[in-house]
Amino acid sequence: MVVMATAVLGWANATLGQGLAQRVPVDPGRIPEQILRETTPVTPPTEPEGNASQRALANTARRYPWIVNPGDRLTFSPSEFNPEQGENYINLDLRFARQNPNFMKFTYGQFPGDAQLYWVLPGNRVVIETQGWQGGIVHRGEGQGITVQRRIEQRRALTGVQTVTTLPENFAELAGEGLSVNAMAARIENPPGIPAPAIALPARPSATPVTPAVGNTNSPTGGVVNFDQVAATNVPQVLQGFPTNNLQGLFEGVPLQPGQRVSEAALAAYGLTWGQPLPEITPLSEFTSLPGVKILQPEGFENQDFLKLLTDPTLSSLTKQRHYLNSLFWSAFEARAPEITDDIAAVSSVWQRVYVSRPLNQTLLVYGADAPTAEYTNRLVNIGLSAMVNLEAGQVDGSQSVNTLLGMLLGGVFLAVQPEPLRTGVQEARSQQETGAAFAPLTTQVSPDARRAINQRLNDSLFYSNLVSGLEQVSGRLAFSQSLAPNHSSLFQIRTGLHRRVLSLSQRDIPEPTPGPTEIAEARTAIDKFPLTFLGATVPANFPERLPENQSEAAQVVVTTPDGREFVQEMSSLTTVPVGIQRSILAFDRIELRRVDRQTASLADFRGYASLPSLEAAWNGSSNGFQYGVNSGLWFNTAPQGAGPVTANTQGMMEPGLGFFANALVNWQNVQVDREGDRITAVTTNVPILRLVWNSAATADNNNLVSLAHTFRRQVQGWEWALTPGAALVFDALASRGIAFLQGNLATLDGLEVNGSIESDREVFWRLEGTQRLSPEWAVGGYVQNFRDVVQGVDTRTVGSGYGLTVRYTLPQSRIGLESQVGIAEDSVEARFRGSLRF
C-alpha cells in the first residue's frame, strides 16, 4: 500500500530524490514534501457541492492522488489537489537561521474548477483532464563576487657622490724672489656738509692694469669663461674625490622634480628595467673622469661638464642640471620589495529560479469488460518559461536561464504526440459535459473491490515511479500501462523536464599588472651648492655706516717685475666686505624612482543547483508485495562552466556538457496478520529495500549510491512502532565511503508520535523529535539534535547542538497546512515555517 511505502521509503528519497539534496540523508526519517501522504479523514467529509464531474474528480484525487496528479512534481503535492475546496494552491518555505537564506520556496498553482474534467464514457472508459497555471520562485544557490584593485608600487634609488676641495694658494711660488710691491693711498676729509671729490692717483702709462674680474667666479671674464684669462700657473687647483659617470641620457630634458616621468627606453639603456635583478650597488655607465688634482681650465680638466658646473655661475637651471648629471659618481641600488595595497570589494548574491507554466494533464483509464484488468494512458504537457535570476539585484543569469527554458519547452514535443484513444476520449467527454449528459454506466463484470484494487495498484506504481524519478520538474510526460490488474502492474513512461545537479564553480580572472609610468618620487641633490667661489666681492665704500659723505679715499698698488714690467691696481673709495669663500663641495645625493602598476583581479564563486534539460524513460511495476522502479535518462548543459556570477569556471570542478543517469528502487513487502478468532490483534510488516543511484558525472556533490535497508513495523491495538536499520555506500570517481543509519518511529492512538534517527558518516548525527496531538488539527512538541541544517548554496549539515519547539496544524482535507519550528542552535535563534494554502 502507498501508506506503508511512503513511510518505509522516506529515508531513500530524502537521500537522493530530485526534490532534495543528492546527498546522504539529512534526516533519514524525513518524508519529502512532494510525497507526504494524505491522512485518512477521521469523519466522513460532508457532501461536496458542485457538479458530478467535480465531485467525482475530488473523490478520486483524495483516494488516488497519483492517478489524478495535475502538477509537475514541484509546485505542490498531488494530495493537496481538491477542486471542490479551492482553485488556488500556495506553498511556502521560510527559514531564519545563520548560514541560511530566508526564502527557500514560493509556488502557486491555479486550477479553475470549470476547467477540470472527470467523465465516464461508454466502454468502461474514465477520462480525467486537469489544466491550469503554475508558477513559482525556488532558491537555487549563492554566489560570491570579489573584485580586487591592486596597487603595486616599486621604488629604486639612484645615488650620486662627489667631493671637490680647492687647494690653498702658495703666494711665495706665485711671487718669486724679485718681486717688489709699491703701494700708495690717499684720503680726503672735508668739513661736514661738503661732498668729497673723487681721488685720481697718478697714472703710469707703461704699467699694465690688473683687472680683478678675471679671477672672480661671478665675473664674465672669470668663472663664466672657466678662468681662461688666468695664467695656467695661477689657476686655482681642486682635488676631485670621486670619478664621474654620465646620467644625462636618463633624465634628458626632465627636471629633477617629484612627479616628472622618465622614459622606459632610457631606463632600459641604463639597465634599470623593472623586475630585473641587479647587484646591491651597480655603476650606471663608464667613467667620464677620474679623481685627482686638477686645474679649473678647459685644458686641465677632462670632464668639461664638471668644469662648467664648478666655475660658471650663470648657467640656466636645465643646463646646470645637465652638467650636474655628469659630475657625480652615480650608482643604482636594487629595487626594493614592492609595496602592495589591495582595495577589495565583495558582493554576495542569492539566486532563484522563477518559472511559469500551463499544465494540461489528460488520463484515460479503460476497465476490462470481463477480466479484472485495465489500460492506462496519460499525457502531460506542461510548457512554460523559466529563468535564473538574482531578484535582489535585478540580474539574470542568461546561460542557466537558457537551460531552464529549454527544459520547460521540451514538454512541447508531447503536443504532437497524443494517442488516438486518449484524444477521442477527451473530446467525447468534453462534448458530453457541455451538453449536460450523464455519466455512462460501467458495463464490466469486474467487481467494485477489484476495480479499487486496480486503482490502488496503479496509484502505488505511479507513486514509485515518481519516487525514483531523476527529474526535479516535469514539463511533459507520456505514460501507458503494459499490464494492470489487482495484483500486478507494469508501466512505461517517457518524461521531459529539468534534472537538478549540484554545481561548485569557481572563477579566477587575474591578468598581468598594467605597468604605470616611471617617475621621480624624490630628488635630494646638491646642485644648488655649485659653483665654487674663489674671490671675495668688492663693495663701494660710500656705505653710510662706513664712510661719511664728506670723506673720500683712494689707493694705488704698483707691482714691478725684475724685467721692468709694472702692474698697477687702483682703487678709489672702496672697501672689502668679508664674505665667506666656498672652497669645497660635498655631494651625497639621492634620486628615487617610482613606478605604480595596477592590477584588477576578479574572483567569483557559485555553489548551488542547476536545472538542466533532461529526457527520461521509466519502467516500474509490481507483483503482489514486490515493487520496482527503474529509470534512466540524459541531461545536457548549454553552459556547463557558468552559473550565477561565474562566467568561466577556471578553478572549480569542471562540468560536462552531457550526462546520463539511472535510478532503481526495489522492495518487497511481507505482511503478517495475527488473529484471535475473527479479530485482528496485530499486523507485522517486513520490507527490505534496495536503492541504486548512478550518474555518469559523479562528484562529491553528485555522488553514486548503493543502499540497503530493512523496515520492521509492528501495529497493535492502540499503538505502533517501526525500526529501519540500513547501510549505504556513497562513491564517485575519486573516493568512496560507507554510512550506517538507524531510524525509528513510535505512535499511539492518543496522538503521541516520536521519531528518531542516528547516522554514522564522517560524523555521527542524531535527532529525536516528539509531538503530542492536542486536537484533530493541532500538535505540539519539541526536538533535539546534534547538527544544524545549513544551506550555503546547497543543503548540508554542520555539527552543533540544537533544540526547540515544533507546532503543526494539519486537518484532513483542510484548506490550510502549517508546520513551524523555533529553536536554539549554537547560541542563536533559528526558525522555519512551511505551509500550504488552498482557496
Evaluate whether residue 344 is within a structural domain: no
Q: Which residues pair with 566 in a beta bridge?
A: 207, 560
Domain identity same for 627 and 575: no
Residue 211 lies in a domain: no
50 versus 676: the higher-pLDDT residue is 676
Asked whether residue 183 falls in the same domain as residue 47, the answer is no
- CB count within 10 Å of CB 630 equals 18
- Residue written as grid cell 492506462: 376
Name which residue leads in pLDDT, 735 or 629: 629
Looking at the fold, whether 428 and 568 belong to one and the same domain comes out as no
Both 388 and 483 in a single domain?
A: yes
- For residues 15 and 83, state if they share a domain: yes
In a domain, 600, yes or no: no
Band (pLDDT 50/70/90 cuts) for residue 225 is low
Q: Is the peptide bond before 544 cis (omega within 30 degrees of 0)?
A: no
What is the distance between the alpha carbons of residues 36 and 466, in angstroms, rounded to a whole number?
A: 13
pLDDT digits (tens, 9 = 90+) for 619-675: 999 998 899 999 999 999 999 999 999 999 988 788 999 999 999 999 998 989 888
Q: What is the pLDDT of residue 175?
A: 45
**Closest among 150, 144, 299, 249 to 645, alpha carbons compared:** 144
Which of 707, 731, 749 finishes a domain?
749
593 in a structural domain: no
Confidence band for 285, pLDDT divided at 50, 70 and 90: confident
Is residue 355 pLDDT above 50, yes or no?
Answer: yes
Which residue range(s) make up the domain with 550?
Answer: 178-202+536-580
Confidence of residue 830 (pLDDT cuts 50, 70, 90): low
Indicate whether 561 and 708 sit together in one domain: no
Q: CA 453, CA 486: separation in Å to the nearest integer?
A: 5
The domain boundary, picked from 701, 724, 749, lies at: 749
103 and 63 part of one domain? yes
In a domain, 154, yes or no: no
Burial of 614 (0-12, 13-18, 19+ CB in 10 A): buried
pLDDT of 229 higher than 80:
no
Based on the domain organization, do 545 and 415 belong to the same domain? no
φ, ψ for residue 369, nearest 5 deg: -75, -35
741-746 average pLDDT score: 91
Domain tally for the chain?
A: 2
pLDDT tens for each residue of 684-694: 999 999 999 99
The amino acid at 752? L
Tell me whether residue 540 is in a domain: yes
Same domain, 701 and 553: no
pTM of the model: 0.72
User: Is residue 597 situated within a structural domain?
Assistant: no
The amino acid at 324: Y
Which of the listed residues 716, 749, 782 is the one where a domain comes to its end? Answer: 749
Is the sign of the CA dihedral 439, 444, 449, 452 positive or negative? negative
Is 426 inside any structural domain? yes
What are the pLDDT digits (tens) for 547-576? Answer: 566 666 565 666 677 767 666 555 554 433
Within this chain, do residues 617 and 743 fall inside the same structural domain, yes or no? yes
Confidence of residue 544 (pLDDT cuts 50, 70, 90): very low
Q: Average model confidence (pLDDT) for the chain? A: 80
Question: Predicted confidence band at 478 (pLDDT cuts at 50, 70, 90)?
Answer: very high
On whether both 196 and 55 belong to a single domain, the answer is no
| Sequence-separated contacts (24+) of 781-786 with Cβ below 8 Å | 781/753, 781/805, 781/806, 782/806, 783/821, 783/823
Cβ-based neighbours of 427, under 8 Å, separated by 6 or more:
none
Q: How far is CA 774 from CA 43, 526, 753, 771, in A?
A: 17, 96, 12, 9
Q: Do residues 540 and 505 share a domain?
A: no
Contact 796, 788 (CB under 8 A): no
- Span 238-254, pLDDT tens digits: 889 899 999 999 998 89
